Structure 1
């Protein structure tokens, strides 16, 4: 990331007010003609020839101030507070997300038979994806295949990288479990403890606020250093953050309305800014984002994974933090960045659902035609569906018991029945007596024959 150029604060621009600013206010609005919310670092290069760049920037800042909403309980520095605004281009993106996630009909109709099924199959696979990529953002090097096997089979993490991924999976589970509860400092500490269990650095302690002020955050070039707030201010700042999270900003309070997606993004940002922990702030922040958005009724976000997309454009993510910190604490930069990420994540979810639907309908075609399928339990059909998609995959009674909420004995009975029907292959692990059940490479032809 190259050096970021920073403008003077608005209060200083107004002291040095240039008369031509007034005539430029009709041309330079909160966003440019393409709807982009530009920081001075990008804005200064896009001023029309002949226009004074500082006067044009002042006109833009004044336009933003006219629609800005101050977050008076969220302190930035000394007597300064964070703010944000919602220009038309941001409203349009929020509307797109609302439209794409409204009702969740694509997931509930035809793809999965009940809420219970939905939780067992789709949620688990996408929570694994989020757990892996969230850990990779923090430096985990475990491959996706190993990570998925560890979670799916309930294996014990073998190293710190695997521990980070396993922790993140538990973290997502906890965020969803607590969706009906209010935010408290104890809950934030609980999330952090889960996120960093046996996977923490910088001499930090899992589940405890940092006590030191020796943290400096910079980019790859050691530029734009950020010094998090003093440790002795953390209890007060987190108390105010909890109050903000627990305040009703819904449409029931129109004069106090904050769009639920915007509110969840603000919580995400504030944990990053306050930096209450010596390590694990990012993981905790992303968990709070999910907790907040799901609490607001956006149930579809149980299936939306954002960390992979943050990872793909990590420079833009980091830059949006710096833009906020270097431009009058305007969180709008970070909000735009995350809304873009969410839009892409929701679109990817729809593509994922389309693939799941095709698999489902292909499998149901076999179910309709096969006499054997009529004798099978729903759990057995789900195992076969996974086996057909992943030849060579291993299944265990322990895994099946956890996935379907049945006893290990029942799970073992169901798997053995599939072996008797020649639809799975039973084997024994070389390392011990554990029995595994393998998906044969020719399962599809076996199903067709049956």
Structure 2
């Protein structure tokens, strides 16, 4: 707008929007003025909401397939190398073999932490989440000082068109307290909007020397888990962000550039990005398929499914979702069953109509129907 209209016209228009349509937030910008947003400009599709409210078929705390993609993508966004094989190795409970897998192990520790709904969002828990997921694996120069929740010095935010300084260190304690209070407030704000606002505000403040983006994305998931969205940890949000990485950083930039023109920090561009590129793109196959759960539940109730078979079925739903797998792969990944048990399980569940089979050469590939 600044190219088409005068500065005064733009300021007059944005002030009109702020006074008549904007919703203020109990969060402050770098000048200690309130952030705000325009809720009507960030619409969430019914399908996106439905996916996040779906109850996963597995009783696992998080989806192994989804969180493999989540970890791979959250590192990819920050140009940190990781392989899906290494991620699956760590998620399946093996010890890290190198520096790359140590970072992955940190993210697994973070996922385990936020999956436990007893771990509510507090400043102490946020600090713990950061330390176990990221801080413990940083070089000394990027670590927080002892007994410090946040950085003590300046940091530069990179990723957009230009680097900028994060919130001055002396302002962080107050800003982060307000952020945590906002996360816990019962204010009637749409919870999916609020998760994205927390994500944006955390990255905007940049409270650490390194790992701010990863922690912001974990915070986003953590808030949704706390609010009772059962599919949050079965949905690889960061995969969608990685696929629209340029737009992700541009949304941050637009928030800041608009503030320079209007004098007010409106977070709507980031909300619009998240609704359009993430929430509204959630696909049906992201959630582990439900198959014919009535068949399964009836067989379970009638004692026709053993405890080991129940555990194997839940693992298949969580680890593979819509992906194909072989009996050998399931034996390797599950680790806690003999091959004969695996073979009996897949044959039985295939006969029940819960698994589909496809032969290719000497191999048979299975997947959830």
Structure 1 length-normalised TM = 0.63
How far is 1:304 from its partner?
1.7
Between the aligned partners of 1:284 and 1:100, the Cα distance in structure 2 is 26
Query: 1:103 offset after TM fit, Å?
Result: 5.0
Could you tell me how far apart the structure 2 residues matched to 1:243 and 1:147 are? 34
8 Å contact kept, 2:241–2:278? no
In the alignment, does 2:17 pair up with 1:94?
no
CA distance in 1, matches of 2:94, 2:151: 32
Per-residue displacement from partner, 1:125-159 (whole Å, max 9, x unpaired)?
Answer: 2122212211222333122233223322x222233
Contact 1:204 1:279 in 2 (8 A): yes
Partner of 1:280: 211
Change (3 A) 1:139 1:208: farther
- Structure 1 gap ranges (5+): 1-39, 113-117, 250-256, 402-410, 425-439
Within 2, Cα distance between the matches of 1:63 and 1:381? Answer: 56
What is the match of residue 356 of structure 2?
Answer: none
Looking at both structures, which has the greater relative contact order when contacts are Cα pairs under 8 Å and sequence separation is at least 6?
2
**How far has the Cα of 1:184 moved from its partner?**
1.8
CA offsets 1:240-298 (integer angstroms, 9 cap, x no match): 1122112111xxxxxxx211111111111111111111011111111111111222232
Rounded Cα–Cα distance in structure 1 between residues aligned with 2:81 and 2:365: 37
**Residue aligning to 2:267:** 331
Aligned to 1:186: 124
> Which residue does 1:134 correspond to in 2?
74
Secondary structure at 1:310 match in 2 = helix
Is the counterpart of residue 211 in structure 1 residue 146 in structure 2? no
Matched residues in 1 for 2:61 and 2:364: separation? 21
Residues 325 and 149 of structure 1: CA distance in aligned 2, closer, same or farther (over 3 Å):
same
Give secondary structure in 1 for the equivalent of 2:27.
strand
Contact 1:195 1:280 in 2 (8 A): no
1:262 aligns with 2:193: yes
CA distances 1:281-321 after superposition (whole Å, capped 9, x unpaired): 11111111111122223222232211111112111111111
Change in Cα spacing, 1:84 to 1:97, as seen in structure 2 (3 Å) is farther
Counterpart Cα distance in 1 of 2:121 and 2:62? 27
1:83 to 36, 40, 56: 36
Q: What residue is the counterpart of 1:68 in the other structure? A: 22
The count of residues paired between Structure 1 and Structure 2 equals 334
Query: Which consecutive residues of structure 2, in runs of 5 or more, have no partner in the other structure?
Result: 348-359
